Structure 1
Amino acid sequence: MNTSGEPNGSSAAGGKDRRPPPLRWWVVLFWLVAVTVLLAVVGIFLGRETRLAPFLVVLPALIAGRGSVRQTAVASSWVTVMIAGALFDTAEDTIGAATATVVFALVFNALSVARAAQRVRGEREIARLRSAAAALQRQLLRPFPLMTDQLIVHGLYQPVEEDSRVGGDVYEVVSSPYGSRVFIADVQGKGLPAISAAFSVLSAFREAAVSEPTLTAVVDALEDAVLRHNSFAAQAGESERFVTALVLGIGPDPDPEVQVINCGHVAPLMLHADRDGPVLRGEPCVPLGLDALSPEPRTVEWFTFPRGGTLLLCTDGVTEARDPSGRFYPLDERAAAWDEVRAADLPATVYRDLRRHAAGALGDDTALMVLRRRPTPEAD
């Protein structure tokens, strides 16, 4: 699966490592020598070489922020030796102050080495968590394009590329005796607990989409799956979660009418048709896991999905992406410019435009699905 968001199409789990590259040894040595020489020259001109030497103590602290433990230790040793050498021939009446300066340098440098070690351990743990999250998502999600008798579905899934904040966006398309069932969802929260909830609801959809004859029964099965997961999570001391989801049913016949239940999710957007734009008129139902809080049961809404039309589904990582001034991504407005874009190229087109809008600083997962109805076989 592709994670790049380039025009070749598909989705995936994984992401680029945004951590800054480690320092090279020549950079560390250059700064050690350069700063030492600079302070020595300034000290000679000012006649204060021994007073300026303690300023070297900040170098290990700076290197600890980016360098390795070994690089920080080398810098600490260098600085300690330079300070001790500069203060070695001080007057007898100032020997106490010189000794205190050296002791301070030793303590401060030791703390710098400890900070570098802590930072490196944290980065390794983050990398391990991201690797585990990416591996789980690769097992959860199938690569695009996805096909059924009624649909060709292109798409893209790009997880957030920041530390261990991988989210719980999931999608699926299932061919059933009742036609094609389409599912896209976003689990509240980030990290491995969100992926665990995503796995529960996705597994429930794959089973219910094939066995349940009605779309409401499919959604009821998803609600039960979220409640069971929350029950186990509460027993383990973890937070309960809700899931926004969109579930569509496209019948096996050529009828252009499509069923949908919107559980608090971003509404579908129609493209490449006579009437582009949002297709749902009713208010969304409550998210999965919160049905007990709603006085009304979830209801099915119908809309027309004509041959030749393209349906765009996405998660709120698209609609809630902000530009540097704080303005949300105007998906409905931008969609007017995509009438000439092929369905297979649309996910990458949207993603590139989204990154431009956010100046590359996307803070949430991005999931896109582009549904295209397959041509009806010619009758004999």
Structure 2
Amino acid sequence: MVIGLRRPSAARRPTLPDPDPEETAGATRIGNRALSLWLLLLTAAVVLLDALTGNDLPLIPLLVVLPALASVFCTVRQTTAVAVWVTLVVVGSRIAATGAFWDVVFLIGFTALASTLGVVACAARIRHATEVARLRSAVVALQRQILRPLPVTTRQVCVHGLYEPMEEDRFVGGDIYEVVQAPHGTRVIIGDVQGKGLPAIGAGFAALGAFREAAVRESELTAVADSVEDAVVRHNAFSAETGETERFVTALLLCFDGSDRVRAVNCGHLPPRLLYDGAAAVAALHRTSVPLGMADLSDEARAAEWLSFPPDAALLVLTDGVTEARDATGAFYPFDERLGGWAGREPDQVLDALQSDLQRFSGGVRRDDVAVLVLSRPPDGGAAAVSLGHDVVKRGTDRRPPRP
């Protein structure tokens, strides 16, 4: 599922229909007509071979494997139909054949048991698929409520973004981002929670909540980082009490004040890329500190530094779901090499090109969330800034917009 929102008028929201458990389990891969054809052909082949081999090598019992195969690919109804068909064929062939009475009874009973087990296995598979589908749907819905739809515009910056959450059961990740218009400028965070699953989303929600409050309250960006640090530590303390694993969060915090420089605090995260004058370059940060939640392991306080942000430039920030993507051979995605070819494009075009190229490179197989933000100056100088987060831009009267 892709939450890559470019223009508010054409925003693509993730749709969350009620999961069809049989579709989730791949049960509709075989249609009824195709299933009936293959069933008749296999039955005819086995019956013919059984007739040719005679009583010395009865092959009719081989039909019991058909319900087992159907339980893997078919619906419960289809599997039941296959089981009934196989049972009828075996019973009919054994009754017509000559042989010891108890041998015939044993074969019929074995066929009925195997067919029943096939139906039970299919029902169990569908039930598990339903649970997984509900979990995926709940996780994606939760992520959609936590993370802001993009693009958004503030007085200092326009933010376009691409977000592709994992939906593979326990492999769902904890990538986070937020944009807050504050009295001291626009504060932006992008981060990646260590680990996978719903607990990672919980840690990400704790970090986001703290950032939204501190971004408006604190005048220094380092103080914002310290507030998020405290929130992650408190979340980890609660997690330890409930038996969950403690987690840390790599994050990059930025502050845009409308000047030609951007304030940055790097908490163990990937450095941003500067897109300027048709070229892309890593904006090196020399004061990288430990991830959020691990400040006790370092004696150095978090420090902020300045990044160049020319008028026509854009900053691209991302999570490691991009840089650590692999192809079929295990090679890593050459992100910086590819990004250089798109540096002269508009932000939304860069994201479109990245999304398509990453999909082709990985063959559609992703191992982590993908979150990318491209931050540039508003085209109108920020005159039409919108309300963000907990800060409401005054337009005659204060009003809080409905949550998207």
**TM surpasses 0.5:** yes
Q: 1:234 aligns with which of 240, 244, 266?
A: 240
Query: How far does residue 203 in structure 1 lie from its aligned partner after superposition?
Result: 1.0
Residues 346-361 of structure 1 aligned to structure 2 (within 5 Å) = 346-361=350-365
Tell me: CA distance 1:227–1:187, structure 2 relative to 1, closer, same or farther (3 Å): same
1:192 corresponds to 2:198: yes
2:211 touches 2:228 (CA, 8 Å); kept in 1? yes
1:11 touches 1:156 (CA, 8 Å); kept in 2? no
Q: 2:210 aligns with which of 185, 204, 209?
A: 204
- Counterpart of 2:32, as a letter, is W
For residues 282 and 291 of structure 1, the distance between their equivalents in structure 2, rounded to whole angstroms, comes to 18
1:41 corresponds to 2:48: yes
For residues 273 and 283 of structure 2, the distance between their equivalents in structure 1, rounded to whole angstroms, comes to 6
Instruction: List per-residue Cα deviations over 1:336-358 (Å, max 9, x = no partner).
Output: 10123211221121111111111
Q: Which moved more, 1:293-302 or 1:141-150?
A: 293-302
For residues 55 and 350 of structure 2, the distance between their equivalents in structure 1, rounded to whole angstroms, comes to 67
Name the structure 1 match of 2:309: 305
3-state secondary structure, aligned to 2:171: coil
Query: How far does residue 147 in structure 1 lie from its aligned partner after superposition?
Result: 0.9
For residues 351 and 381 of structure 2, the distance between their equivalents in structure 1, rounded to whole angstroms, comes to 27
Q: 1:104 aligns with which of 97, 110, 115?
A: 110
Query: How far does residue 186 in structure 1 lie from its aligned partner after superposition?
Result: 1.2
3-state secondary structure, aligned to 1:266: coil
Residues 200-349 of structure 1 aligned to structure 2 (within 5 Å) = 200-251=206-257, 254-273=258-277, 276-282=280-286, 284-349=288-353
Name the structure 1 match of 2:130: 124
Query: How far does residue 153 in structure 1 lie from its aligned partner after superposition?
Result: 0.6
For residues 55 and 261 of structure 2, the distance between their equivalents in structure 1, rounded to whole angstroms, comes to 86
Tell me: CA distance 1:147–1:127, structure 2 relative to 1, closer, same or farther (3 Å): same
3-state secondary structure, aligned to 1:65: helix
Tell me: CA distance 1:357–1:132, structure 2 relative to 1, closer, same or farther (3 Å): same
For residues 63 and 6 of structure 1, the distance between their equivalents in structure 2, rounded to whole angstroms, comes to 41
Name the structure 1 match of 2:98: 91
1:169 corresponds to 2:168: no
Tell me: CA distance 1:32–1:375, structure 2 relative to 1, closer, same or farther (3 Å): closer
Name the structure 1 match of 2:145: 139
- Runs of 5+ consecutive residues of structure 2 not aligned to the other structure: 18-22, 383-404
Name the structure 2 match of 1:365: 369
1:11 touches 1:155 (CA, 8 Å); kept in 2? no
Tell me: CA distance 1:118–1:101, structure 2 relative to 1, closer, same or farther (3 Å): same
Instruction: List per-residue Cα deviations over 1:145-177 (Å, max 9, x = no partner).
Output: 111111011111111243453221111111101
3-state secondary structure, aligned to 2:328: coil
Instruction: List per-residue Cα deviations over 1:165-218 (Å, max 9, x = no partner).
Output: 322111111110110101111112222222222111111111110101101110
- Runs of 5+ consecutive residues of structure 1 not aligned to the other structure: none
1:49 touches 1:86 (CA, 8 Å); kept in 2? no
3-state secondary structure, aligned to 2:303: coil
1:65 corresponds to 2:65: no
Tell me: CA distance 1:289–1:49, structure 2 relative to 1, closer, same or farther (3 Å): farther
Runs of 4+ residues deviating >4 angstroms: 4-19, 375-378
TM norm structure 2: 0.86
For residues 14 and 203 of structure 2, the distance between their equivalents in structure 1, rounded to whole angstroms, comes to 16
1:50 touches 1:87 (CA, 8 Å); kept in 2? no
Tell me: CA distance 1:159–1:274, structure 2 relative to 1, closer, same or farther (3 Å): closer
1:6 touches 1:348 (CA, 8 Å); kept in 2? no
3-state secondary structure, aligned to 2:73: coil
- Counterpart of 2:268, as a letter, is G
Name the structure 1 match of 2:2: 3
For residues 357 and 24 of structure 2, the distance between their equivalents in structure 1, rounded to whole angstroms, comes to 20
Query: How far does residue 82 in structure 1 lie from its aligned partner after superposition?
Result: 1.1
Instruction: List per-residue Cα deviations over 1:262-304 (Å, max 9, x = no partner).
Output: 1111210111247631112426321111111123222212210
Aligned length: 374
- Counterpart of 2:196, as a letter, is K
Q: Which moved more, 1:13-22 or 1:316-325?
A: 13-22
Instruction: List per-residue Cα deviations over 1:17-65 (Å, max 9, x = no partner).
Output: 8753524322332222221112122333444598111111011111111
Tell me: CA distance 1:110–1:284, structure 2 relative to 1, closer, same or farther (3 Å): farther
Aligned-residue sequence identity (percent) comes to 43
Query: How far does residue 319 in structure 1 lie from its aligned partner after superposition?
Result: 0.5
2:170 touches 2:197 (CA, 8 Å); kept in 1? yes
Tell me: CA distance 1:269–1:82, structure 2 relative to 1, closer, same or farther (3 Å): same
For residues 289 and 225 of structure 1, the distance between their equivalents in structure 2, rounded to whole angstroms, comes to 8
Query: How far does residue 328 in structure 1 lie from its aligned partner after superposition?
Result: 0.8
Tell me: CA distance 1:240–1:122, structure 2 relative to 1, closer, same or farther (3 Å): same
- Counterpart of 1:355, as a letter, is Q
Query: How far does residue 5 in structure 1 lie from its aligned partner after superposition?
Result: 5.3
3-state secondary structure, aligned to 2:190: strand
For residues 18 and 272 of structure 1, the distance between their equivalents in structure 2, rounded to whole angstroms, comes to 44
- Counterpart of 2:253, as a letter, is V
For residues 115 and 321 of structure 2, the distance between their equivalents in structure 1, rounded to whole angstroms, comes to 43
- Counterpart of 1:272, as a letter, is Y
